Amino acid sequence: MNDQVLMDNYLLILKSTVEVYVHGTLESSNEDIRNLLKIGLDETMSHQATTYDEMTKYGWYQINNVEASTINQTLSKIKNQN
């Protein structure tokens, strides 16, 4: 397993962990637990951002810019569906 695969897997784990923290935070009825979950959420999101930055630095996470015309076409389709 190479570094890119490891980082990709780590990023996926972080994204899943964020989802768990978000749901836990939203559903918690205890303020102390909710605050603890928020701290975990913030820390995990920070790790996710750092991992993402490292992956983009090495070209392991590609970002494709979308043309404005494509965005406008998609928005028009959505508006027409309603």
When mean pLDDT is compared across 14-18, 20-24, 28-32, 59-63, the lowest value belongs to: 59-63
Confidence band for 62, pLDDT divided at 50, 70 and 90: confident
Q: Is 64 helix (H, G, I), strand (E, B) or coil?
A: coil
- Percent of residues, the chain, with pLDDT higher than 90: 88
Q: What is the pLDDT of residue 82?
A: 66
Using CA atoms, how far apart are residues 14 and 45, in angstroms rounded to an integer?
A: 8
16-26: average pLDDT: 96
Using CA atoms, how far apart are residues 31 and 27, in angstroms rounded to an integer?
A: 11
34-42: average pLDDT: 97
